[in-house]
């Protein structure tokens, strides 16, 4: 009877693992394709053996396209580029039909070149034991288990992770208000957000224009929208009149990480009259 129940359970499963093909249909926000960020089905056994995952459409890329390159040697990176170049030159043809795909491949090859150059000149080191990172927020898995967005956001609270719910009190969110002046904060992630400054703007400075909930459906106002002073730090979009305008960018302001730490991508700075303390 137990065997019959197991067989029936397998019949009820409507999907299969992308890697080993066993029946599996549990969806998780942590399981995203490294290329396109589509949700994929991958069983726990296979997931534990991989740092990054690839959907059915990008299976040809699985040995060559990775969002996070810190764990690869120069030789491994050069091999990845060879594979991507081959896909670009011989598989995704005609070029006009696969314009966007070929652009994605070229951008990844440029990213690999930059990483190789950084390693060779000593600006970066190979981290073969690098932790798995979240494909959405780019934090390591001790900070984020990959469920920091959408429907899964609340599951990341420290009260829902192993070892949580021990009665410890979560620190309150720092005060923030529209009009606050901000700069790069303690949890600024350069992989996701870019450098802390640029040649045109060595020290980023901006203004909070909105305060809202990170991702969706949250009860806390734990993110801020910032308009940077220098346009080099901001995206741009066309308004209804056709004129380009500077976009605000969204940053974490007290989002609770997996380890119970509040994350701040930006911090307040002292204003001209000194009425706001740098935090």
- The region, left, alpha or beta by phi > 0 then psi within -120 to 50, assigned to residue 204 is beta
Residue-level pLDDT at 162:
43
pLDDT in tens, 35-69: 999 999 999 999 999 999 999 999 999 999 999 99
Residue-level pLDDT at 164:
43
Is the CA virtual torsion 63, 64, 69, 75 positive or negative?
A: positive
Q: How far apart are the two ends of the chain, measured CA to CA in Å? A: 63
pLDDT in tens, 204-254: 899 999 998 875 455 788 899 999 987 665 555 555 666 667 788 999 999
Residue-level pLDDT at 190:
85
pLDDT in tens, 68-80: 999 999 999 999 9
pLDDT at residue 274 tops 80 = no
Residue-level pLDDT at 8:
52
Name the DSSP class of 153: G
pLDDT at residue 278 tops 50 = no
Query: With 0-12 CB in 10 A as exposed, 13-18 as middle and 19+ as buried, what is 234?
Result: middle
pLDDT in tens, 134-156: 998 888 888 888 887 777 765 55
Q: Among 16-25, 77-86, 93-102, 167-176, whose mean pLDDT is lowest?
A: 167-176
* Residue that wins the pLDDT comparison between 96 and 82: 82
Helix ranges restricted to H, the chain: 2-12, 44-47, 74-86, 99-121, 190-193
Let me know the angle formed at the C-alpha of 184 by 116 and 159, rounded to the nearest 5 degrees. 95
* Residue that wins the pLDDT comparison between 195 and 204: 204
Residue-level pLDDT at 163:
42
Mean pLDDT, the chain, rounded, equals 83
pLDDT band, residue 165 (cuts 50/70/90)? very low
């Amino acid at each position: 009877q137990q065997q019959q129940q197991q067989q029936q359970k397998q019949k009820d499963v409507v999907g299969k693992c992308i890697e080993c093909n066993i029946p599996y249909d549990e969806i998780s926000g942590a399981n995203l394709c490294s290329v396109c960020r589509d949700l994929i089905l991958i069983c726990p056994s296979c997931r534990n053996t991989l740092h990054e995952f690839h959907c059915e459409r990008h299976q040809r890329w699985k040995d060559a396209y990775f969002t996070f390159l810190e764990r690869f040697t120069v030789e491994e990176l050069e091999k990845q580029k060879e594979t991507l170049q081959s896909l670009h030159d011989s598989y995704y043809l005609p070029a006009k039909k696969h314009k966007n795909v070929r652009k994605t491949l070229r951008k990844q090859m440029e990213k690999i070149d930059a990483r190789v150059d950084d390693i060779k000149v000593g600006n970066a080191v190979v981290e073969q034991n690098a932790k798995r990172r979240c494909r959405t927020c780019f934090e390591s898995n001790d900070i984020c288990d990959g469920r920091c967005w959408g429907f899964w956001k609340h599951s990341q609270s420290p009260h829902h992770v192993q070892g949580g719910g021990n009665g410890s009190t979560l620190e309150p969110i720092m005060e923030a208000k529209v009009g606050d002046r901000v700069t790069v904060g303690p949890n600024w992630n350069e992989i996701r957000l870019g450098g802390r400054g640029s040649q045109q703007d060595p020290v980023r400075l901006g203004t909070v224009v909105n305060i809202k909930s990170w991702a969706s459906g949250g009860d806390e106002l734990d993110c801020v929208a910032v308009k940077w002073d220098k346009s080099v730090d901001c995206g741009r979009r066309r308004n209804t009149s056709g004129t380009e305008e500077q976009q605000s960018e969204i940053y974490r302001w007290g989002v609770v990480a997996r380890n119970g730490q509040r994350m701040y991508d930006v911090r307040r700075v002292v204003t001209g009259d000194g009425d706001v303390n740098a935090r």
